[in-house]
Structure 1
Amino acid sequence: MKMRSKMKIDHILFALALTPCIALPAGAGEQQVQSGGEMVVTASRMEQQSIDVPITTQVITRDQIEMSGARDVGDLIGKYITGHFHKFNGLLSPVGLRGFRSDSHGSDLNGYVLILIDGHRTGTGNAAKINLDRIERVEVVKGPSSALYGSAAMGGVINLITKTGDGPLGGSITGEYGSFDYYKGQVSTGGEVSDTFRFFITASIDEIGDYSDPTFGTVYNSGIERKEIGGNVVYTFSDRHEVRLGGNYSDLYSESPSWRNWITYSAHDPNARQNSDKSIGYADLEYNGEFLDGKLHWKALAYYLYDKNHWFWGFPDPDSSQTKYIDKTIGTDHQFTWRMTSWNTLLVGFTIESLEKESSGTENFQPSTPLTPGLDYDNQALFIQDSMDLFDNRVNLIAAARYDRFDVTTKRAKTGTYADFNERSETYDRISPKFGIGVKFLDEMLRVRANIGDGFKSPTADQLSADYVDVRSGVRFLGNPDLDPETSRTFDIGFDVYHSDLSLTVSYFHTDWKDKIVRESLVNNGQGITTYTNHGDATIAGFEIGAEWILGQTFNLPFDASLWSNMAFNTEKEDEQTGEDLLYISDYEVKSGLNLGYAGVRAQLSHVLVGSQMITNFDTFMNEEKGTFSFWDLTVRYRFAGSWEINGSILNLFDQEVEWARGYIMPERNYRIGLTWNF
């Protein structure tokens, strides 16, 4: 106990020591952040300078992505953004913002944080499925964003903005090799073919075998294979009209390790064979046009999303028992931006989406009933936003609201036997407002801001309308048509300081979470019934602090150097009905680092510290505290001979035990090295 306490004290002292050099999560080492002039689009659905958007917006740039050592979006968020990222084996990584997370199994509509790609849903809440090769930057909006993006945006929105081939025509070929038989091959090409046509296309394949953790050795059956291809083609008709056609497909295979005799922390089972076949894909068509001498802008999106999760969990033969879910979504999103005056811009738009979930199962090589039946979602939404820049752009106001209507249906699964299955439908609607204000002082060196807004999460179709009996268990699953959506109201206040070599941001947020939906088990006339109910309220509150110190400018160094860090302290996280801490919200997080650059060399030393949290121990089904953990990573990149670049990473530099989720210990210290030829 004394050793654990000392370790916690050391961690906190380290965090406090870095407080003067805490970076905006938007920058994490990028010197452009300190000016406050970075262009962002997600928070207001319009391209604006970040200092003119009073909503907390953070950006991960392409340079940060390259220096992160991350292989997917989940790892990237876990390194730079506070909010408690979760990571399991088998390509499963829900991401968190302000105490809310995306769905653990990947359903984007069943989560509390929404992941977008180029402004529309990705079709998944599992960030491990999304590779980084096509991502130009990541914009993160913390706080409820349902006023513009609808359901599942209670904690915020993560928007992945893809490469479109800006710049000269060229390409690259990359090969990487590393620990645990890791390898990756990638080919990319793109650029501006003419004044009217540009493109970017990339394809890659990578694989890694069973890894080892620092405590128990080889984690058997933990390998991963990824095959991915995607890109964008952009055609510019004129300086006022442009069309983009984009898409991506990822074929993902992952294995699932287990503990010997299913006893956590016993030893990894060398006979484990369970695995999963996951794939995700999308295609989208985007039009941007300007009318009325540029005063009116029309952005139109049409998209198709595909998300498959296929688990093979039989024992001893994994093929003997399977569960498969396939989500298909068709949607369109349109927004019209009218610059009414030099200081007032009105945005109106609508979204129409239709999602169909197909479910099937196999048990002992026979068709069986999956855990979730088939589902249909139809969503229609209208949104409006007024943005005002007053007093010579010293005061920025944003007011927004969105109306959502849902039609949800529970459908019979493609396999299995049900008794008394009724395909029921339910309809409900929701209005979500938001308001923000920012005021600048001292020639934009200081900004004070405040926001208040509502978020909501739609009940799932089975929570609302299920009505069937599972013949295996005899349990009746009965939806509750009187369920209300889960809602939140958050206010946050804060200030930002922008100096020539130091930036600082401080925020306080307070969230009232209402009408949480929980599963409820009942017995009626001797029959077990599973249903759902709105179960009480909760409060989440805390501080977020960030800054970046450009050491090279302060001390007139002959090389680039910056210190950065992102901090979050959750001062309140209480279930008001039980009086206990909410689960899976850490007490604090600190994500920090040092960036260096000289000539063709760039280096980043980063540190992640995650505080203790309350979790459920699924061995005992009792709640307990999970302790603090931390790790260091080092990445170096060197460009030479004009067109060649070598990169190397040492991940988990000091060989620490890293466990984002209980029982899922991440790899020991491991290495990667790669070579890229740019042409």
Structure 2
Amino acid sequence: MLTLAATPADSVRVLDPVVVSATRSETRLDKIPQKLVTISRQDIALVPAADLPDLLKKTAAVNIIQYPNLSAGIGIRGFRPQFSGLNQRTLLLVDGRPAGATNLATLMLTGVERVEVLKGTASALYGSQAMGGVINVITRRSTGEPGGSAYLDYGSFRTLQAGLSSGGNLTKRLDYDLSFGYVERSADFRIGGDNLLRNLFGFGTAVKNYTNKPSAEVDDRQGDGQVRPNTQLHYYSGGLRLGYQLTEGWRMDVRGDRFEAKNVQSPGEISSGTTDASSKDVQRNALELAVSGKIGAYHRPTLRVFTADESNANYTLNSGGKAIAPYRSNRTANAWTGLQIKDIWTIGAHSVVFGYDYLDASTKGRRWSDATTERAPTQPDYALISSAVYAQAMLTFNRLTVQPGLRYDNSTFDVRETPLLSAYKPGKKANAFWSPNLGLVYQLPKYFRVSGTVGRAFVTTDAYSVAGYVEARTTAGKIAITSGNPDLKNESSVSWDAALGYRNAKNGLSGGITYFSTEVTNRIAKVVQQVNEPLANGDVIVSRTTFVNAAGSRIRGLEAEGAYDFGAKTQYKYSLRVFANATVMFRATEDIVGTDRSVVVRDVMNVARSNGQIGVEYDDLKQFRVRLSARWTGVRKDIDYTDVESPEIEYAPYAAADASASWRFRKNHSVTFAITNITDENYYEKRGYNLAGRAVSLRYGIVF
């Protein structure tokens, strides 16, 4: 989402040390050993991005899975992107607490100060899910004279966007931030048809790899230039923060936000035409209370309590290839309630952040076979309840920074009684996990630095894999039993990385290269044992299914980035910056364990062999700002379920480019013109769910 032109304070940003909070305390970026990408408010202003998934895939060289109906997920460092479920491998935060969202697309950019993308293991700080990395969305906290900005935007496919952001002090002690964003696409979008980059690089072919016959090339030009029916949507998001200065050193903040989308159209898989079309309603709410302050000169404690919920209701529009009266066919509801207590203890040049986290995350599901008949959900309701203590130090010795950390998590898996799933028996099981981490940074002469990290991470399994129990009657008198494994271990990983970096604001040059490696163990596999166990009543147990730690994954890759600002030669009287970043995967494989315990090794699905971006930005630091960027995504693999043999399929690579230009006039007014997908590429992040072709928009903004 494009925002307004830069404020005067933006003109000195290239000289200021960047301060980030992804390590649970505000720390200078050059002191942090982890690879961390910061997407600033100024970056957000010029990147033509409708939402957080768009922003991340255009700036951070990560893997995205994205559908045209407000569904998206992210994967970092070789982990498969996920957009649903409580057990993801990239942790999503808002202001350092769980975001209360499994779907990345429900986080709008209005009111966002910056986005921090931490790449690599972070379980020593955050616990479960932080295996591939952490996305931390930082919202604005305004003080001083009240002010704000607003915009109105109109573009291709009859797309209307509007937004408002305001903040400041209402009284000497009371401050606020208010944000609101609205998006409506009232016409179906057109899939790209010109495909200049696809034709230039020969990206028009996918490959199906069969197990019982030779591989086959597949024409990947399906849908070129076509209008994709059932791709209209509208949604809004709003947030309000109130802060009160209790005393000179203590303050309290209350923040709430809401996202709502009604009747979001989904076109279905492209080969099905319109017979697979559906719609959905999406809603997300979050509320938090935080009290923070200082105790003496050395301690900065914070107490935060929060609650959030997310729901997704899908509506069936077709049956047997024919349109029917719409009815709600399923609904999923997730909820989070938590508590965070932490203290930042400063000891001279050193600091230690330590604290306690509590989180109760739960999920419920319902399904219907028609407008009035409810049927059993696909899985039981369950909760993951965790308590954790952690500590991480930042020890500074002249040029050397050492960052040791350790976290202990105790997780309870709670399978709950579920309507229409009477065969499932409620159950609970607890297990524990230790997550150590060590990071080092050494500042070399001449603006170079070397850094490295090593750490252990984990993700909790689904509760029913540990504590579930179900008896299913297959035929008369024959019973199949599925039972959780109380001895099941958490999926875990050991990761390390090593990096060489350079940053010199005086000459405008920066860059770096990072090698990373991850070994995943104890992935969960379902195994089935055929048995013959007669019961006293004459029934026979014919199979027993359970879950075991049997699979693993191996990931190796390289990240590189570089930038040069020609404005450095003029002491930044203007900024003309060229930049590039990329991720290359040397290996990303996983073990697939069959129900008979047979093992097949395959590439991790939906992870590109390489991806990245290149671009140029110009800012005269007065009125004009321009950005032109291009990105590419290399070969990815997936399973093609539209083929009756469900073969592995290799996606065709794609490349796309965007541009934007902003002109500020009369000090407080601006006009911004943007083009997304300049070369009108037919591309997708999930094959069969092609995204929009070239789109243009014009935005008017005002600062007040």
Q: Deviations over 1:327-372 (max 9, x none)?
A: 1221000111111x31322221001111232221111230111112
Residue matched to 1:412: 417
Give the one of 448, 467, 470 matched to 2:469. 467
Q: Measure, in 2, the Cα distance between the counterparts of 1:528 and 1:368.
A: 25
TM (norm. structure 1) is 0.89
The question of whether the paired residues in 2 share the 8 Å contact of 1:34 and 1:498 is answered with: no
Give the one of 90, 94, 98 matched to 1:113. 90
Identity %: 21
User: Does 530-539 or 146-155 show the bigger shift?
Assistant: 530-539
Q: Measure, in 1, the Cα distance between the counterparts of 2:388 and 2:250.
A: 26
Give the one of 323, 326, 330 matched to 2:337. 330
The question of whether the paired residues in 1 share the 8 Å contact of 2:181 and 2:236 is answered with: yes
Structure 1 residues 317, 48: closer, same or farther in 2, change over 3 A? same
Q: Measure, in 2, the Cα distance between the counterparts of 1:545 and 1:626.
A: 24
How far the C-alpha of 1:633 sits from its partner, in A, is 0.5
Residue identity opposite 2:603 in structure 1: D
Q: Measure, in 2, the Cα distance between the counterparts of 1:75 and 1:167.
A: 32
Residue identity opposite 1:564 in structure 2: F
Q: Measure, in 2, the Cα distance between the counterparts of 1:32 and 1:546.
A: 22
Query: Is 1:201 the counterpart of 2:178 in the alignment?
Result: yes
Q: Measure, in 1, the Cα distance between the counterparts of 2:116 and 2:130.
A: 14
Query: Is 1:67 the counterpart of 2:46 in the alignment?
Result: yes
Structure 1 residues 479, 654: closer, same or farther in 2, change over 3 A? same
Structure 1 residues 309, 471: closer, same or farther in 2, change over 3 A? farther
Q: Measure, in 2, the Cα distance between the counterparts of 1:255 and 1:476.
A: 39
TM (norm. structure 2) is 0.86
The 3-state SS of whatever aligns with 2:58 is helix
Structure 1 residues 629, 521: closer, same or farther in 2, change over 3 A? farther
Structure 1 residues 431, 557: closer, same or farther in 2, change over 3 A? closer
Residue matched to 1:373: 380
How far the C-alpha of 1:321 sits from its partner, in A, is 5.0
The question of whether the paired residues in 2 share the 8 Å contact of 1:244 and 1:285 is answered with: yes
Q: Measure, in 1, the Cα distance between the counterparts of 2:330 and 2:608.
A: 32
Larger Rg computed on CA atoms: 2
The question of whether the paired residues in 2 share the 8 Å contact of 1:101 and 1:155 is answered with: no
Give the one of 388, 392, 398 matched to 2:395. 388
Residue identity opposite 1:601 in structure 2: F
Q: Deviations over 1:29-57 (max 9, x none)?
A: x9978668200111x21111111112222
Residue identity opposite 1:430 in structure 2: F
How far the C-alpha of 1:542 sits from its partner, in A, is 0.9
The question of whether the paired residues in 2 share the 8 Å contact of 1:346 and 1:387 is answered with: yes
The question of whether the paired residues in 2 share the 8 Å contact of 1:275 and 1:318 is answered with: no
User: Does 365-374 or 449-458 show the bigger shift?
Assistant: 365-374
Query: Is 1:175 the counterpart of 2:152 in the alignment?
Result: yes
How far the C-alpha of 1:451 sits from its partner, in A, is 0.6
Residue identity opposite 2:19 in structure 1: M
Query: Is 1:450 the counterpart of 2:456 in the alignment?
Result: no
How far the C-alpha of 1:188 sits from its partner, in A, is 2.8
The 3-state SS of whatever aligns with 2:587 is strand
Residue matched to 2:209: none
Q: Measure, in 2, the Cα distance between the counterparts of 1:33 and 1:509.
A: 30
The question of whether the paired residues in 1 share the 8 Å contact of 2:613 and 2:630 is answered with: yes
Query: Is 1:662 the counterpart of 2:687 in the alignment?
Result: yes
Residue matched to 2:137: 160
The 3-state SS of whatever aligns with 1:566 is strand
Q: Deviations over 1:410-435 (max 9, x none)?
A: 12334xx3343311111111010100
Residue matched to 1:255: 265
Query: Is 1:145 the counterpart of 2:134 in the alignment?
Result: no
The question of whether the paired residues in 1 share the 8 Å contact of 2:312 and 2:331 is answered with: yes
The question of whether the paired residues in 1 share the 8 Å contact of 2:341 and 2:357 is answered with: yes
The 3-state SS of whatever aligns with 1:516 is strand
How far the C-alpha of 1:58 sits from its partner, in A, is 1.5
The 3-state SS of whatever aligns with 2:608 is coil
Residue matched to 2:206: none
Structure 1 residues 666, 84: closer, same or farther in 2, change over 3 A? same
Q: Measure, in 2, the Cα distance between the counterparts of 1:33 and 1:640.
A: 22
Give the number of equivalent residue pairs: 634
Residue matched to 2:501: 496
Q: Measure, in 2, the Cα distance between the counterparts of 1:318 and 1:470.
A: 33
The 3-state SS of whatever aligns with 1:326 is strand
The 3-state SS of whatever aligns with 1:75 is helix
Query: Is 1:351 the counterpart of 2:372 in the alignment?
Result: no
Structure 1 residues 429, 243: closer, same or farther in 2, change over 3 A? same
Residue matched to 2:517: 510
Give the one of 426, 431, 435 matched to 1:428. 431
Q: Deviations over 1:179-217 (max 9, x none)?
A: 111112223322233442221102232211321102151
Residue matched to 1:675: 700
The question of whether the paired residues in 2 share the 8 Å contact of 1:94 and 1:102 is answered with: yes
How far the C-alpha of 1:461 sits from its partner, in A, is 1.0
Query: Is 1:41 the counterpart of 2:21 in the alignment?
Result: yes
Residue matched to 1:240: 249
Q: Deviations over 1:204-261 (max 9, x none)?
A: 32211321102151111112211221121122234421211111001123211124xx
- Equivalent residues in 2 for 1:309-328, closer than 5 Å: 309-313=312-316, 315=318, 316-317=323-324, 319-320=326-327, 322-328=329-335
Give the one of 267, 270, 277 matched to 2:281. 277
How far the C-alpha of 1:667 sits from its partner, in A, is 0.5
- Equivalent residues in 2 for 1:613-628, closer than 5 Å: 613-620=636-643, 621-628=646-653
Residue matched to 2:104: 127
How far the C-alpha of 1:102 sits from its partner, in A, is 5.0
Residue identity opposite 1:40 in structure 2: V
Q: Measure, in 1, the Cα distance between the counterparts of 2:600 and 2:344.
A: 46
Q: Measure, in 2, the Cα distance between the counterparts of 1:669 and 1:60.
A: 24
Give the one of 547, 557, 563 matched to 2:578. 563
Give the one of 607, 610, 616 matched to 1:588. 610
The 3-state SS of whatever aligns with 1:638 is strand
Q: Deviations over 1:246-288 (max 9, x none)?
A: 11001123211124xxxx5x4632x554111111110011111
User: Does 588-597 or 203-212 show the bigger shift?
Assistant: 203-212
Q: Measure, in 1, the Cα distance between the counterparts of 2:12 and 2:520.
A: 36
Residue matched to 2:83: 104
Structure 1 residues 295, 318: closer, same or farther in 2, change over 3 A? farther
How far the C-alpha of 1:459 sits from its partner, in A, is 0.6
Q: Deviations over 1:489-518 (max 9, x none)?
A: 111001111122100111100111112224
Residue matched to 2:6: none
Q: Measure, in 2, the Cα distance between the counterparts of 1:419 and 1:303.
A: 33
Residue matched to 2:293: 289
Q: Deviations over 1:441-487 (max 9, x none)?
A: 226x1111111011100011122222235689997553232321111
The 3-state SS of whatever aligns with 1:226 is strand
Residue identity opposite 1:157 in structure 2: V
Residue matched to 2:197: none
Structure 1 residues 594, 470: closer, same or farther in 2, change over 3 A? farther
The question of whether the paired residues in 1 share the 8 Å contact of 2:65 and 2:82 is answered with: no
Give the one of 472, 491, 497 matched to 1:486. 491
The 3-state SS of whatever aligns with 1:490 is strand
Residue matched to 2:557: 542
Q: Measure, in 1, the Cα distance between the counterparts of 2:464 and 2:98.
A: 21
Structure 1 residues 471, 360: closer, same or farther in 2, change over 3 A? farther
Q: Measure, in 2, the Cα distance between the counterparts of 1:552 and 1:527.
A: 74
Structure 1 residues 130, 421: closer, same or farther in 2, change over 3 A? same
Residue identity opposite 1:120 in structure 2: R
Residue matched to 1:15: none
Residue matched to 1:597: 619
The question of whether the paired residues in 1 share the 8 Å contact of 2:69 and 2:266 is answered with: yes
The question of whether the paired residues in 1 share the 8 Å contact of 2:525 and 2:551 is answered with: no
